[in-house]
Structure 1
């Protein structure tokens, strides 16, 4: 066994919902002791750093019940079973903002909360945006306000904790450093 590896002794499914599954695992630690791990399985998600022709970033504001507040984020959503990640990004951008993009580029993927969840977010850059004539409807339980902000405005929103999630903070850093804003 690798010096940091934890060997699964038993696994019990506790809950299966629309978005996540929760399981409890008993593991053997590298020193031979046992511990319990509460783990969340998630199908993965995409997020889109959409930049307008006048170098504004497209954000959405929505209420996040887990935080009991609204936050400003880049458009994002869950990957549906069997759905290609880039197609998910295209769909989410259209559903949440009404924009399409003629230039999608993969940026990077990362784990959101590896201490207890296996969710991976895949970030895409969308340029050469256009308004979709009849955008696909968004989720019926999703209420969104669309904002277009400069990089300076976005950085200020991070300071004010209006932007409060890792994927959006990452996207702002990417936009600032690699796209020479």
Structure 2
């Protein structure tokens, strides 16, 4: 079945709940076959977020360990944060890197954009590779100091086997970067 799909028409949207981070909306849709239905979606800020893959060298990535209220534990993952209004994604990536890891990057490369649960959440995370790092700390909005953990890229399977490394965007980004490095691309 290789026919072009026609996007459903949005008939109406209604905000149900709004917080400082997102809003929940009812979305009424009409599909091209005439079926009408209602979905709920979490609408996030239009600017999205960045997830940074800081390469200390070709073989070592810098991870962070910070508290995640969603899982109520400390999680080992890549640094990430929101893009501010009017901020370029590469500038946001370098800022987050300086705030969370204590390094800046001379070379920042956009890799891809990821979604999580796109059937319900409008959020995009832009994956940025950071190379040629230099020490530079900016004050961030974190409530406690974040632990920085260097990790050898050759031991990603051991990282993914850990109970405190489950953040899917970080896992996907690390696998993509390792593949690029193995191909000699970055």
User: TM-score, with normalisation over the residues of structure 1?
Assistant: 0.88
Q: Specify whether residues 143 and 27 from structure 1 end up closer, same or farther in structure 2 by C-alpha distance, changes over 3 A only.
A: farther
Deviates more, 1:139-148 or 1:156-165: 139-148
Distance in 2 separating the partners of 1:86 and 1:165? 22
Aligned-pair CA distance for 1:140: 4.0
Aligned 8 A contact 2:59 2:154 in 1: no
**2:32, 2:69 → 1: CA distance?**
37
Choose which of 126, 131, 137 in structure 1 pairs with 2:139. 137
Q: What is residue 97 of structure 1 aligned with on the other side?
A: 101
Q: Are the aligned partners of 1:51 and 1:58 in contact in 2 as well (CA < 8 Å)?
A: yes
- Of 149, 152, 156, 2:151 maps to 149
Deviating above 6 A after TM superposition, structure 1's stretches of 4 or more consecutive aligned residues are none
Aligned to 1:122: 126
- State the secondary structure of the residue aligned to 1:107: strand
RMSD over equivalenced CA pairs, Å: 2.0
Aligned pairs for 1:17-36 (under 5 A) are: 17-36=19-38
Q: Give the secondary structure class of the aligned counterpart of 2:57.
A: coil
Matched, 1:176 2:178: yes
3-state SS of 1:176 partner: helix
Structure 1 segments unaligned to the other structure (5+ residues): none
Q: Deviations over 1:65-86 (max 9, x none)?
A: 2222222111110111111111
Give unmatched runs, 5+ long, in structure 2: none
* TM-aligned CA deviation for residue 3 of structure 1: 4.1
Query: What's the offset of the Cα at 1:102?
Result: 1.0
Q: What per-residue deviation string (whole Å, max 9, x for no partner) do you get for residues 105-150 of structure 1?
A: 1111122221111111111111111111xx2111143652211110
Structure 2 length-normalised TM: 0.86
Cα deviation digits, residues 34-92 of structure 1 (max 9, x gap):
22211112221001110113621011111222222222111110111111111110100
